[in-house]
Amino acid sequence: MAAQAVILVDHGSRRAEANEHLEGIASALRKERPDWVFWTAHLEVCGPTVGEAVDRAVAAGACRVVVHPFFLLPGRHTREDVPRLVESARERHPGISIQMTAPIGVAPELVSLIVGSVEGVDP
């Protein structure tokens, strides 16, 4: 097990194909960063939960866990729900560094992604 684990967290869906989308992103990230281990978790509707994913990562040997909320913009989930779950995981694993990133929508690279997407639309 790599020393660093990354947990991608989305809302979760009753539709399996929606949940599989997050797994596809995790798979692409595994190819991009084979030195990190990627897990997925969902806030509602289906599992694994954030707590379960953190517990699995730690059980597999992670000494650093980064929780990445896969949400576009800051909202209740990224301001309240995920931080609460991260804090709970820290309490269960006091010797492990467990951090949380900002949602992807606050990244400056998002502007370039939008421009590229718009430029890619056929006139």
State the alpha helices, DSSP H only, in 68-108: 76, 82-92
Say whether pLDDT at 1 is over 60: no
The domain ranges of the chain are 4-119
First to last CA, the chain: 48
In the chain, % of residues over pLDDT 70: 98
- Model pLDDT, residue 33: 94
DSSP letter for 16, please: H
**Residue 18 confidence (pLDDT):** 85
Query: Which two three-digit tokens encode residue 98?
Result: 């467990």
65-97: per-residue pLDDT in tens?
999 999 888 889 989 999 999 999 999 999 999
**Percent of the chain at pLDDT exceeding 90:** 64
Query: DSSP H helical segments within 5-68, as ranges?
Result: 16-32, 50-59
HSE toward the beta carbon, residue 62, CA cutoff 13 A: 26
As a whole number, mean pLDDT of residues 37-50 equals 92
Distance CA 3, CA 78 (A): 25
Mean pLDDT value across residues 19-46: 93
Per CATH, the architecture of 4-119 is what?
A: 3-Layer(aba) Sandwich (3.40)
**Cα dihedral 45→50→56→61 (10° resolution):** 160
Q: Which two tokens stand for residue 92?
A: 């269960």
Distance separating alpha carbons of residues 35 and 31, to the nearest angstrom: 9
Tell me the catalytic residues.
11
